[in-house]
Structure 1
Amino acid sequence: MLLWAAIVGASFPVVGMLSEGLPSLLLTAMRFAIAALAMLPLVWRKGPEMPDILGLLLYAFMGLCLAGFFGVMFWAAHRVSALSMSALFVSMPLLAYGIGRVLGIEPRAARLPAVLALGAGGAIALALAQSGGNLTALQFGRGEGAFFLGCIASALYPVLSKWGLARGILSSDAAVRTFWSLAMGCVLIALAGFAMEPLTAMAKMQPKDILLVAYLGVFSSGVTFWLMQRGTGVLTPGAVTAYSYLVPFVSMLALFAARPEVIGWHWLPGSALVITAMILLFRTGGRQLAAISHADAGRLRG
């Protein structure tokens, strides 16, 4: 999940480098197709594993969650400020925890919501530091509302994965779950793109856009969601998505590498809060893994 945070943190600047005016839905379908193809070697090693009808429906719903978030992210890249996107993005762990509680896959615990709130505060403080403390960039309009709906969709993805795993609907292999959710999402979002966007707009893509989408497909979609699926197998959705608090921290480190002159004390409060939250999260995750191992040992003895 630390690697996941590093890749996602590097993806937001890449999205902003795409040319304006490109169709967001069709771009997302292209990104998902590349990501699904990147997963094929891992899936091929497991042999054919065709899900049943219920599994396909759940994979389709999960794919729509992914497509909803990334489609909105492409659309909002040139309409929403980076600060607003960061502030809304860090709501995802709390959303995942709340939805998980409703579906009964998150345990009742006061500690995890407190850690999530601490990390959210630190991530927002880092986003404010990056904007120079310019609160006027933090706003909520039509674009921000659409991006928030995308964040809700993204929060649903690990929740549905955990729910399907707990009921034996989804494959136990992370690569298989990643492939089918991306493949189903690709088909559905491509159909929506063909219906709602002009196909001729894809002709505006420049060679650098193709390379950027290929990078986003392989790494920011394929690899990151495979890593998330691996994490979902042993952690709760709230704990998995909490690693998104490291995304602005990674962006901060990248900024320091490119512009060391911006380093200042105003970065310290947010950094301290995020690091504290992640240390507490590591301890919480360790206890969850220990509990799972103890339960597995008990079943073997039985």
Structure 2
Amino acid sequence: MSVAVTPAAAHLGMLLWAVLVGLSFPAVGLMSELPPLSLTALRFAIACGALWWLARRSPGFLPSWRLLPLYALMGLCLAGFFGAMFWAAHHATALSMATLYVTVPLLAFLLGLGLRVERPGWRLPAVLALGALGALGLAVAEAWQQGGRLRFGVGEAVFFLGCVSTALYPVLSKWGLATGRLPASAAVRTFWSLGAGGVLIGLVGLAVEPLGVLATMSARDLALLVYLGLFSSALTFWLMQRATAALTPGVVTAYGYLVPFVSMLLLFVQSPARIGWAWLPGSLTVLVAMGLLMRRERPEAPAG
């Protein structure tokens, strides 16, 4: 039997989510250069393996055939984002991608309005815009330090479609919960959506990547892959699904604003001399926005 998640517990879980996602980037940077789509499919497979025992013991583990299209669409959202991100990484600047990613919470809010899982109003969009401004400030501070530049081309357009895709994932989850289509267990929802996304990403990887390179994976690469599968995929997506039951999609995705803040803290620990005053405005703005979000603990939005 599933235990109801309070908004306070959901917020705490998403704080942990932001820390885990922020820690995953250094782990990825330690890995050898391997086919990214195939690695993501393997990460999702490891995550599903970790979730199997918990999910299979939960009510509604085996979905009905009517539910399969929804899980497939949720998996397509994951595959679309990761596919767009890996392709755009070779055709867009890091600053452009970081700038576009701050639109995800606002996109989730607008998509949520369309499916009636967000309440109309100005307060949440205003807080999301404040958080986006702070996250953008952190991205600009990092790019200024590294000499990056902002532009918009084909790579940025593809990545923006990926941002729309990832914003739609929690909206579909919330809509499925609100309409009684998805089960109450966060583990079940995470298992099937990650499974569907992993299959789709894996098929694309089979078609476009040299899989023979995976044979060169070292023991360290394998250990990092297992870590990413368990903590950066299984646990983070479970935390997101758990929070979706108590919070709206816009609030859930807004925790992505904290990821560059966590990365900044890691940079400060590793190289204190690289942190300057340019990081302060964005950091303070993000913290203020997240504080305002945590105070907005109100009942769930009405179902469509």
Aligned residues between the structures: 289
Question: Offset at 1:206?
Answer: 3.4
Deviation of 1:102 after TM superposition, in Å, equals: 1.2
1:7 aligns with 2:7: no
Contact 1:24 1:71 in 2 (8 A): no
CA distance in 1, matches of 2:190, 2:246: 16
- Pairwise CA distance, 1:242: 0.6
Task: Read off the aligned partner of 1:9 and give its amino acid letter.
Answer: G
Rounded Cα–Cα distance in structure 1 between residues aligned with 2:105 and 2:181:
24
Aligned counterpart, 1:195: 207
Query: Contact between 1:178 and 1:225, CA under 8 Å: does it hold in 2?
Result: yes
Matched, 1:234 2:246: yes
Equivalent-residue separation in structure 2 for 1:190 and 1:218 (angstroms) = 18
Once the two structures are superposed, the pairs formed by residues 1-302 of structure 1 within 5 Å of their partners are 1-20=14-33, 22-46=34-58, 49-77=61-89, 80-132=92-144, 136-284=148-296, 286=297, 288=298, 291-292=299-300
Verify the 8 A CA contact 2:59 2:183 in the aligned structure 1. no
TM-score by length of 1: 0.88
Query: Aligned-pair RMSD on alpha carbons?
Result: 2.2
Q: Cα 1:133–1:202, aligned 2, differ >3 Å: closer, same or farther?
A: closer
1:165: how far off?
0.8
SS where residue 54 of structure 1 aligns?
coil
Query: Is contact 1:24-1:75 (8 Å) kept?
Result: no
Structure 1 residue 217 displacement after superposition: 1.5
> Helix, strand or coil for the counterpart of 2:67?
helix
Distance 2:277 2:229 in 1: 36
- Deviation at residue 79 of structure 1 after TM alignment: 5.2
Contact kept in structure 2, 1:86 and 1:124, CA below 8 Å = yes
Task: Among all aligned residue pairs of Structure 1 and Structure 2, give the percentage whose two residues are the same amino acid.
Answer: 60
Please list the CA deviations of residues 48-89 of structure 1 after superposition, one character each: whole Å capped at 9, or x if unmatched. 721111211111111111122223334444654433332122
Q: Secondary structure at the match of 2:71?
A: helix
SS at the partner of 1:172? coil
Give 1:131 shift: 2.5
| Range that drifts further, 260-269 or 189-198 | 189-198
CA contact (8 A) 1:28 1:67 kept: no
Match of 1:299 in 2: none
Deviation per CA, 1:217-243: give whole Å up to 9, x if none.
211111111000011001110011011
Cα 1:176/1:240, change in 2 over 3 Å: same
Gaps of 5+ in 2: 1-13
- Contact 2:60 2:188 survives alignment (8 Å): no
SS in 1 for 2:124: helix
> Given residue 73 of structure 1, which amino acid in structure 2 is its aligned partner?
M
**For 2:92 and 2:233, how far apart are their aligned partners in 1?**
21
- With the length of structure 2 as denominator, give the TM-score of the two structures: 0.87
The alpha-carbon distance between structure 1 residues 211 and 70, as it changes in their structure 2 partners (threshold 3 A), is farther
Distance 1:260 1:276, change over 3 A: same
For residues 109-158 of structure 1, give each alpha carbon's deviation from its aligned partner in whole angstroms, at most 9, with x where no partner exists: 10000000000000010111122366742222333332222221111110
Using the TM superposition, name which of 40-49 and 162-171 deviates more.
40-49
Unaligned regions of 5+ residues in structure 1, if any? 296-302
